[in-house]
């Protein structure tokens, strides 16, 4: 191969980062969260103090990392990035916290996947800007309190409901990111196309936007894949006909469902008669992790009206049967 998989991945990530909006004004969509954040940041700047801790929740790819970067930029503060799974021990977190400079923004992605002891350490740090460092083991262990400079925590989670109450309560502001409307995504596609110097017609931008599952990361990714197609099979200009052929080739259907989404609906309808079926059983049937089905596929399927989460399990709606080209069974439970 010309480039290794890692190099290709790095290249993709470089492009993704080049497409990130740098200011709130540039950040399209999420009008409510944007406006609320603007106020929080404005007030903090006026008081010349670090703002309250911020929690951002929502499905992957809607802009949580981007917003954390914007928060730091708008505060002219340095940013440190880490994630829940990267923090195995409370000591890892203590080391990060004690290394922060005054006013620094700490972005903690997947905060719901932090270990319990780290979480407890975080409570104290968020509230009192202090951590207890435990020295020694067993009965002789002592806690040495360590002051840390005031900082702003920006936590991100795919679902705020996964966080324990005491942690959730320590955030002064919670922003819920929603899937983007097609018109908002269309603007994002046009903006990215301009940055990548890609020729695209307005209709083609609309087509890509409408098949992007309400998600900017997917819109940017599909734009890059359609660009590949346009360069290899045509003259590089992205027209509507070309974008349709390309998206069909990449198995992104008209509603924006990808292989995983369709796999979930397909298993639900064909193997489990439309449900109700438990999440774990469904995940095994599509050969995916529980979390992937629950946090990546389901939110969009629920929002599109194809799947319902009921106390007895996951259920396919009549729209799901129709989307798969199947007839809706008479005795199905909805």
Q: Known catalytic residue: 187? A: no
Q: In the chain, at which residue ranges do the beta strands (DSSP E only) sit?
A: 54-57, 79-83, 105-109, 130-135, 142-147, 152-157, 173-176, 307-310, 313-316
CB of 117 to ligand ATP, least distance (A): 24
Q: Known catalytic residue: 317? A: no
User: 290-312 b/e with 16+ CB inside 10 Å = b?
Assistant: eeebbbbbbbbbeebebbbeeee
How far is the C-alpha of 169 from the C-alpha of 174, rounded, in Å?
10
Verify binding: residue 60, ligand ATP, rule CB under 6 A.
yes
How far is the C-alpha of 94 from the C-alpha of 28, rounded, in Å?
36
Verify binding: residue 217, ligand ATP, rule CB under 6 A.
yes
Closest CA to 40 of 146, 137, 149, 171: 171
Where in 134-173 is the site for ligand ATP (CB under 6 A)?
156
Q: Known catalytic residue: 174? A: no
If you count DSSP H runs as helices and E runs as strands, how many of each does the chain have, helices first?
Answer: 15, 9
Which residue in 66, 109, 221, 317 is the catalytic one? 109
CB of 207 to ligand ATP, least distance (A): 18
Verify binding: residue 299, ligand ATP, rule CB under 6 A.
no
Verify binding: residue 268, ligand ATP, rule CB under 6 A.
no
Structure tokens at 166: 């005491």
CB of 61 to ligand ATP, least distance (A): 5
* CB within 8 Å of 160: residues ≥ 6 apart: 55, 57, 168, 174, 176
CB of 120 to ligand ATP, least distance (A): 24
What x-and-dash track marks residues 5-24 binding ligand ATP by CB under 6 A? -----------x--xxx---
Which residue in 66, 152, 157, 158 is the catalytic one? 158
Verify binding: residue 61, ligand ATP, rule CB under 6 A.
yes
Q: Which is nearer to ligand ATP, 19 or 268 (CB)?
A: 19
Angle at 149 between CA 76 and CA 54, to 5 degrees: 60
Q: Which is nearer to ligand ATP, 63 or 103 (CB)?
A: 63
Structure tokens at 306: 């194809």
Q: Which of 190, 210, 212, 220 binds ligand ATP (CB under 6 A)?
A: 220
Using the 8-state DSSP alphabet, how is residue 63 labeled?
S
Q: Which of 55, 62, 269, 296 binds ligand ATP (CB under 6 A)?
A: 62
Q: Which of 37, 50, 51, 66 binds ligand ATP (CB under 6 A)?
A: 66
Q: In 32-141, at which residue ranges do the beta strands (DSSP E only) sit?
A: 54-57, 79-83, 105-109, 130-135
Verify binding: residue 190, ligand ATP, rule CB under 6 A.
no
Q: Which of 24, 28, 155, 222 binds ligand ATP (CB under 6 A)?
A: 28
Q: Known catalytic residue: 158? A: yes
Q: Which is nearer to ligand ATP, 13 or 130 (CB)?
A: 13
CA 2 to each of CA 8, 16, 178, 330: distance values in angstroms, whole numbers, following the listed order: 10, 21, 39, 55
Which residue in 170, 211, 213, 217 is the catalytic one? 217
Q: Known catalytic residue: 20? A: no
Verify binding: residue 64, ligand ATP, rule CB under 6 A.
yes
- HSE-up of residue 258 (Cα within 13 Å, Cβ side): 15
Task: Report the catalytic residues.
Answer: 64-65, 109, 158, 217
Sites of contact with ligand ATP (CB under 6 A): 16, 19-21, 27-29, 60-66, 156, 188, 216-217, 220
């Amino acid at each position: 191969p010309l480039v290794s998989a890692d190099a290709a991945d790095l290249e993709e990530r470089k492009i993704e980062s080049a497409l990130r909006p740098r200011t709130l004004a540039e950040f399209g969509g999420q009008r409510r969260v944007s406006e609320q954040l603007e106020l929080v940041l404005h007030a903090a700047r006026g008081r010349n103090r670090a703002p309250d801790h911020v929690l951002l929740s929502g499905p992957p790819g809607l802009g949580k990392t981007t917003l954390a970067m914007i928060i730091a930029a708008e505060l002219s503060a340095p940013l440190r990035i880490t994630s829940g799974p990267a923090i195995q021990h409370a000591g890892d977190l203590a080391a990060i916290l004690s290394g922060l400079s005054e006013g620094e923004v700490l972005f903690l992605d997947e905060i719901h996947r932090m270990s319990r002891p780290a979480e407890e350490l975080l409570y104290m740090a968020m509230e009192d800007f202090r951590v207890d460092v435990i020295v020694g083991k067993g009965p002789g262990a002592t806690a040495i309190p360590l002051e840390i400079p005031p900082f702003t925590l920006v936590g991100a989670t795919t679902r705020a409901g996964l966080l324990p109450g005491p942690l959730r309560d320590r955030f002064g502001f919670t922003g819920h990111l929603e899937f983007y409307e097609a018109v908002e995504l269309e603007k994002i596609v046009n903006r990215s196309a301009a940055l990548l110097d890609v020729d695209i017609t307005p209709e083609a931008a609309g087509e890509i936007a409408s098949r992007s599952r309400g998600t900017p990361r997917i819109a940017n990714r599909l734009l890059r894949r359609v660009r590949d197609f346009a360069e290899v099979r045509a003259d590089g200009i992205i027209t509507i006909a070309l974008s349709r052929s390309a998206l069909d080739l990449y198995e992104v259907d008209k509603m924006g469902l990808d292989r995983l989404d369709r796999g979930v609906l397909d298993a639900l309808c064909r193997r489990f008669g439309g449900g109700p079926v438990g999440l774990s059983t469904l995940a095994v049937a599509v050969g995916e992790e529980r979390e992937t089905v629950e946090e990546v596929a389901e939110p969009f399927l629920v929002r599109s009206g194809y799947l319902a989460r009921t106390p007895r399990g996951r259920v396919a709606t009549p729209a799901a049967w129709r989307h798969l080209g199947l007839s809706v069974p008479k005795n199905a439970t909805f």
